[in-house]
Amino acid sequence: MSISHRLAGAVASVVLLLPTGASAAPAALPPLDFLQLNAAIDGLPDGKVSGAVVQVRGTAGCWQGTGGIADRDTGAPVPQDARFRIGSMTKTFTAVVVLQLAAEGRISLDGTVQQYLPDLLPAGTAPITIRQMLTYTSGVNGAGIDSKDADWYLEHRYDHYPPGSQLDTAAPLAFAPGTKQRYGNADYIVAGLLVERVTGRSWADNVRHRIIAPLGLRATEVPEEERTIRGPHARGYEIRPDGTWEDITDADTSLQWSAASIISNAPDLDRFLVALFTGRLVRQPYLNEMFTVPDVPLADGSGRAVHAAGLTRIALGPLVVWGKSGDRPGYNNGMGATRDLARRLVYSVNPLNMGGTSQPAAAQRIIMATFAGAPATGG
C-alpha cells in the first residue's frame, strides 16, 4: 500500500529509518472518521475509477463500504466481499513461505541463490543471498515485458509463461548484490523457483498448504489454468482512446506467477494480516525480517530503501504503517496496518486506465482517511 506508486507498485515515500536496535513510541492514531471514509469513495464511477471496496478493522475503530459499479452492463454495485486480483500483494504470501522454510531449517537466509538454484544464473555471477532476494537487493533482472501497456496487454493477456521465463538471467546484474534496492517482480519469481526446488512441490501448492488452508481463506485462490475471477467480484475495465470500455477482467496469470497472481478479498486479507503480524504464520526471529528494511539507497537515486521481506514501511506523517500494495490491469489494491494492529486497512479500487506510476486518487483518499485523518479530497 502506498500514497504514490513507482513502477510495479513500489512505494514512493522517502522514509527515514531508525538505526538498528533503536525504537520509538508509536504515534497516536487519529480518530476514525466515518464521514471522510465515505467521502473517499463517494461519487464513483468518476471517469477514472469504476468501483471500490474498503474494509477498516482494529481496536481503534471499524468501518467498511463500497462505491461505484461492479458491472457496467448491469449497473450492479460492488459487493463488500468482492474478490480481486491482488497483484504484488502476492509477494507477501511468497515471502511467508520462504521464511517458513527458513524457520524449518530447510534453507538459510544467508545461503545463496546459486547454492539452491545452481542452474539459474551464469557462472561467475556474484553470490546473491536469499535475504537479498527477499528485499529486492539482488540486482537480478526481469524479462522487461511492460505488461501494463494497454495495447500489449489486450494482445497478450492470455499468453502462458513457464516459471522462470519471466527472468533475464543472461543479463549482467543491475548492481552488486546488497548495495541497492530496486523493486520489481524478478526477485519474487526467483523466490517461487526456490520454493519449488526446496520442497519438491509447486509454489501454488505451498501457498495453499501453508497459508490458505490453515487460515481458512475461502475467498483466496492461486490461479493456475483459471483465467476468470470466481465468486463475487467487480469487473475490471480499460477506457480505450475512442472512449469505449474494454472488459479486461479475464487473464492468464502466469507472467506474474509467484510475484503477483493471487486472487483474494478484503476479509481474507485482513485475516492474513492479523495472522502474519501476530506470528502465527512466521515465528521469530524470522518474522523480524518482514519488518527490517535494508540500509541501502534506492537504485533510482530517489531516497533510501523502504521495502523489507514482503512488506513495505510506509511513513504517513508521524505514523508508520507496514503493508503492501499491488495492482493488475483493472485492479489497484493495498493492505496495511500499524504494527500493533490497532488499525488495519484493506482496499481495492478499479482504475479505468492501466499503467503509469500514479496511484488512483480514490486510493490515496482511502489511505489518508484511514491512517492520517486527512480530508478525503482530490481528483
- What's residue 21's pLDDT? 35
Residue 62: pLDDT band with limits 50, 70, 90 = very high
Cβ partners under 8 Å of residue 249, min gap 6: 228, 229, 233, 235, 236, 330
Cβ atoms of 308 and 290 closer than 8 Å = yes
- State the average pLDDT over residues 316-342: 96
Determine the pLDDT at residue 317.
Answer: 83
| Mean pLDDT, residues 354-367 | 87
Classify residue 163 as exposed, middle or buried by CB count within 10 Å of its CB (0-12, 13-18, 19+).
middle
For the stretch 162-221, pLDDT in tens is 999 999 999 999 999 999 999 999 999 999 999 999 999 999 999 999 999 999 999 999
Segment among 66-75, 151-160, 205-214, 355-364 with least mean pLDDT: 355-364
State the catalytic residues. Answer: 88
Q: Whole-angstrom Cα distance, residue 217 to residue 202? A: 19
- pLDDT band (50, 70, 90) for residue 320: very high
Report whether pLDDT(18) > 60.
no
Mean pLDDT for the stretch of residues 253-257: 96
**Residue 99: phi, psi to the nearest 5?**
-70, -35
For residue 357, the model assigns a pLDDT of 61
* pLDDT band at 13; cut points 50, 70, 90: very low
pLDDT of residue 375: 45
User: What confidence score (pLDDT) does residue 4 get?
Assistant: 32
| β-strands 49-57, 312-316 pairing | unpaired
**Is pTM beyond 0.85 here?**
yes
Query: Helical H runs in the chain?
Result: 34-41, 90-103, 113-116, 130-134, 150-156, 186-199, 203-207, 213-215, 257-260, 266-277, 361-367
Q: What does the mean pLDDT of the chain come to?
A: 91
Q: Is the pLDDT of residue 1 over 90?
A: no
- 103/280 Cα distance (integer angstroms): 13
Q: Are strands 263-265 and 83-85 parallel, antiparallel or unpaired?
A: antiparallel
Mean predicted confidence (pLDDT) in 225-241: 96
Q: Is the pLDDT of residue 6 over 50?
A: no
Q: Measuring CA to CA, which residue among 374, 375, 362 is closest to residue 42?
A: 362
| pLDDT above 90: percentage of residues in the chain | 86
pLDDT in tens, 258-312: 999 999 999 999 999 999 999 999 999 999 999 999 999 999 999 999 999 999 9
What would the DSSP string read from start to end of 302-331?
SSB--B-SS-EEEEETTEEEEEEEEEETTE
Confidence category of residue 222, pLDDT binned at 50, 70, 90: very high
pLDDT band at residue 148 using 50, 70 and 90 as cut-offs: confident
- What is the per-residue pLDDT for 94? 99
Confidence bin at 353 (pLDDT 50/70/90): very high
What pLDDT shows up at residue 147? 85
The pLDDT of residue 356:
63
SS3 71: coil
d(CA 38, CA 120): 49
Listed residue (99, 94, 86) closest to 268, CA to CA? 86
Kindly tell me if the per-residue pLDDT of 51 is higher than 90: yes
Position 359 scores a pLDDT of 87
* Domains along the sequence of the chain with CATH: 7-372 (3.40.710.10)
